[in-house]
């Protein structure tokens, strides 16, 4: 009896996920009120009718509730993200309020990774989550639902997602070998190839099920946050679900399946030294908590994975993802990247993250969104408000830069014309003598500017289909060569890795953030290093 819902302020369902028990329960109750001979409406219409009072009350009340329990012990948790309301429901007693709140933040994170800064505009997000084409909407919702299914499965059956952690397989010899290979051969060859079509590989990592075997970032790359990395692991597992083969094999059996090699390789090593992991040296100060995890039942994991019914995508078609980027001048969330998931063997995946050629445009859009957001807050509070003291704005400088930015865009695009018109109206109201100047009358035009900027972002990074745009991605041949190179390097180790990645291993945790960056300490995540 579980349900997740995203709704607009007008009580329109933008996305929903529910299990079979919840759907049957709602349809049975709704069917009782139907007149004889009248069929049931679409399930999303039922949800819209049932949730409308909750949604409207949250949008109209100044101090609205964030959770409540009904007479039949159904728990509802609500959270307003920008212009959209996220709702989680549980009716079987398996989840508490904290569990539901956790799921809402996971859903929000996955939506951000999929749509980037479009999530900052409720109107544009509505177009993305609820396209007019019903078949397109069904495909999109099925994909997002499958991501939630994958996350739920991993949280139930995988220790790294149980404690919200990025987990690494540590063996100094193998890790050093793989990282050196990724740096000196794979990434260098990809970035020096003419077949990369303007894309630059920033990150390359190898996953064994959900655990990191090796991770390399180029010198031009920003740090990949644990929050983004775990979201990418969910997406990789969704593309290539692991056939969870959790044998209770003895160490001797594991040795016999892994091929030749020194005996010490199959013996658990001490925690990584400072030489093998600089991250562990930084995070290992002080006392560290220890988590122990017991493997789940094999059949339940396999059945759940097979029910996802998501066909493996064409490896040559990347998926656009939006991740945090840390530059010397600040943090920029939701920057566009291309994600290539290349299956090496069942359970072992190579993931490449590339910087696309037009990514500088996203940085400019974010800066202007920040400027207009700060201006809007100043206008709400008045020029003497606290926001104006914290974030002074040079509007003449912003005006000059915005003029140059608009001129740099493609003038034939419809979105360009709309942005130009709104900006011209903004300038006439704010800067001309006949205009009203910088007062609260300008607030709607600040909102309009933010919507138009998000529209430019949407047109540049979401509207064009990646699968159709074959001229701006790593060629299929280049991806195949990358696959072959890594397979050749790991072929003697793959059986060992697959066995050891499913052993019960002690985890040492270090504090970081995952999906729940705005939540208190109980929702903080960790980056964990495990020894194989």
More confident residue, 158 or 79: 79
Cβ contacts of 305 within 8 Å, gap of 6 or more: 153, 241, 242, 243, 244
Burial of 472 per CB tally in 10 Å (0-12, 13-18, 19+): middle
Q: How wide is the angle at C-alpha 241 spanned by C-alphas 528 and 134, nearest 5°?
A: 120
pLDDT of residue 288: 29
- Identify the pLDDT of residue 425: 93
* Residue-level pLDDT at 246: 41
**Sign (positive or negative) of CA dihedral 296, 298, 301, 303:** negative
pLDDT at 348: 95
Sheet of 348-355: strand order equals: 290-291, 507-512, 525-531, 165-170, 211-217, 200-208, 348-355, 330-345, 319-327
Q: What is the pLDDT of residue 503?
A: 63
User: What is the Cα gyration radius of the chain?
Assistant: 25
Q: Outline which parts of the chain fall under CATH 3.30.450.50.
A: 2-27+41-157
Beta bridge partners of 85: 7, 80
The top-level CATH class assigned to 167-240+316-357+472-509 is alpha beta
Per-residue pLDDT, averaged over 268-275, amounts to 33
**What does 33-81 look like in DSSP terms, one character per residue?**
TSPTTPPP--HHHHHHHHHHHHHHHHHH-SS--SEEE-TT--EEEEEEE
Instruction: List where CATH 3.30.450.30 sits in the chain.
Output: 167-240+316-357+472-509
Contact 346, 364 (CB under 8 A): no
Q: How far is CA 170 from CA 134, 167, 378, 504, in A?
A: 47, 9, 51, 14
Beta bridge pairs of residue 217: 203
Residue 385 pLDDT greater than 60, yes or no: no
Position 263 pLDDT exceeds 80 = no
Calculate ∠ Cα 507-508-509, nearest 5°: 110
Give the pLDDT confidence of 459-477 residue by residue, as tens digits.
999 875 444 455 578 888 9
The percentage of residues in the chain with a pLDDT greater than 70, rounded to a whole number, is 74
What's residue 362's pLDDT? Answer: 93
pLDDT for res 301? 34
User: Cα-flanking dihedrals φ and ψ of residue 139, to 5°?
Assistant: -65, -45
Higher-confidence residue of 82 and 354: namely 354
The answer on pLDDT for 448 being more than 60 is yes
488-505 residue pLDDT tens: 999 999 898 888 887 645
pLDDT for 514 equals: 52
Q: Is the pLDDT of residue 366 over 50?
A: yes
pLDDT higher than threshold 70 for residue 245: no
Checking if the pLDDT of 157 tops 70, the result is yes
Res. 267: pLDDT tops 60: no
Q: Range with the lowest mean pLDDT among 148-157, 298-307, 449-458?
A: 298-307
Q: Tell me whether strands 200-208 and 211-217 are parallel, antiparallel or unpaired.
A: antiparallel
d(CA 365, CA 174): 42
How far apart are alpha carbons 16 and 138 in whole angstroms?
A: 11
pLDDT at residue 251, as a whole number: 36
CA angle 253, 506, 288 (to 5 degrees): 160
What are the DSSP E strand ranges found in 441-506?
A: none
| pLDDT score of 410 more than 90 | no
Q: Is the pLDDT of residue 274 over 50?
A: no
Residue 515 has pLDDT above 80, yes or no: no
Domain 2-27+41-157: which CATH number of 3.30.450.50, 3.20.20.210, 1.20.140.10, 3.40.50.300: 3.30.450.50
pTM above 0.75, yes or no: yes
pLDDT score at 463: 75
Asked whether residue 532 carries a pLDDT value surpassing 50, the answer given is no
pLDDT band per the 50, 70, 90 thresholds, residue 186 = very high
pLDDT digits (tens, 9 = 90+) for 282-327: 333 333 233 333 333 323 333 333 333 444 456 568 999 999 998 7
pLDDT band at 244 (very low <50, low <70, confident <90, very high): low
Structure confidence at residue 387 as a pLDDT band (50, 70, 90): very low
d(CA 455, CA 484) in angstroms, rounded, equals 40
For tokens 């794979």, name the residue: 186
153 vs 326 pLDDT, higher one: 153
pLDDT at 105 over 80: yes
204 SS3 class: strand
Q: Residue 316: its pLDDT value, please?
A: 60
């Amino acid at each position: 009896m579980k349900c997740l819902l995203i709704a607009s302020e007008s009580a329109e369902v933008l996305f929903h996920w529910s299990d079979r028990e919840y759907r049957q329960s709602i349809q049975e109750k709704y069917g009782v009120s139907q007149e004889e001979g009248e069929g049931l409406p679409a399930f999303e219409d039922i949800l819209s009718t049932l949730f409308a009072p909750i949604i409207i009350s949250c949008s109209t009340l100044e101090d609205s509730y964030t959770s409540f329990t009904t007479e039949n012990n159904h728990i509802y948790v609500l959270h307003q993200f920008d212009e959209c309301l996220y709702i989680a429901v549980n009716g079987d007693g398996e989840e508490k309020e904290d569990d539901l709140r956790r799921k809402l933040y996971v859903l929000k994170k996955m939506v951000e990774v999929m749509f980037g800064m479009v999530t900052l505009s409720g109107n544009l997000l509505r177009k993305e989550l609820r396209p007019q084409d019903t078949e397109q909407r069904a495909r999109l919702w099925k994909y997002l639902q499958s991501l939630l299914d994958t996350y739920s499965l991993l949280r139930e059956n995988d220790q790294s997602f149980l404690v919200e952690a990025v987990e690494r397989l540590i063996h100094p010899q193998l890790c050093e070998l793989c990282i050196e290979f990724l740096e000196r051969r794979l990434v260098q060859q990809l970035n020096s190839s003419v077949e990369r079509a303007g894309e630059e590989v920033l990150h390359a990592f190898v996953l064994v099920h959900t655990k990191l075997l090796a991770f390399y970032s180029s010198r031009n790359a920003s740090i990949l946050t644990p929050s983004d990395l775990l979201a990418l692991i969910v997406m990789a597992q969704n593309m290539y679900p692991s056939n969870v083969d959790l044998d209770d094999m003895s160490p001797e059996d594991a040795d016999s399946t892994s091929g030749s090699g020194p005996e010490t390789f199959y013996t658990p090593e001490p925690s990584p030294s400072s030489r093998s992991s600089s991250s562990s040296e930084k995070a290992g100060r002080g006392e560290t908590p220890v988590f122990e995890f017991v493997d789940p039942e094999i059949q339940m994991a396999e059945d759940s994975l097979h029910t996802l019914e998501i066909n493996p995508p064409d490896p040559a078609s990347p998926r656009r993802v939006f991740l945090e980027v840390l530059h010397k001048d600040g943090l920029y969330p939701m920057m566009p990247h291309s994600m290539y998931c290349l299956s090496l063997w069942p359970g072992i995946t190579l993931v490449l993250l590339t910087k696309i050629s037009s990514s500088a445009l996203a940085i400019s859009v974010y800066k202007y969104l920040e400027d207009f957001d700060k201006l809007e807050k100043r206008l709400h509070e008045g020029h003497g408000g606290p926001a104006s003291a914290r974030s002074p704005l040079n509007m003449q400088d912003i005006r000059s830069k915005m003029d140059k930015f608009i001129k740099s865009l493609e003038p034939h695009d419809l979105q360009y014309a709309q942005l130009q018109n709104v900006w011209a109206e903004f300038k006439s109201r704010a800067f001309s003598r006949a205009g009203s100047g910088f007062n609260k009358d300008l607030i709607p035009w600040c909102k309009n500017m933010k919507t138009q900027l998000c529209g430019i972002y949407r047109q540049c990074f979401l509207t064009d289909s990646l699968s159709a745009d074959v001229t701006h991605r790593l060629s299929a041949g280049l991806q195949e060569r990358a696959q072959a190179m890594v397979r050749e390097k790991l072929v003697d180790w793959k059986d060992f890795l697959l066995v050891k990645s499913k052993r019960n291993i002690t985890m040492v945790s270090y504090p970081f953030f995952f999906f729940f960056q705005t939540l208190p300490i109980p929702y903080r995540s960790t980056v964990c290093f495990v020894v194989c």
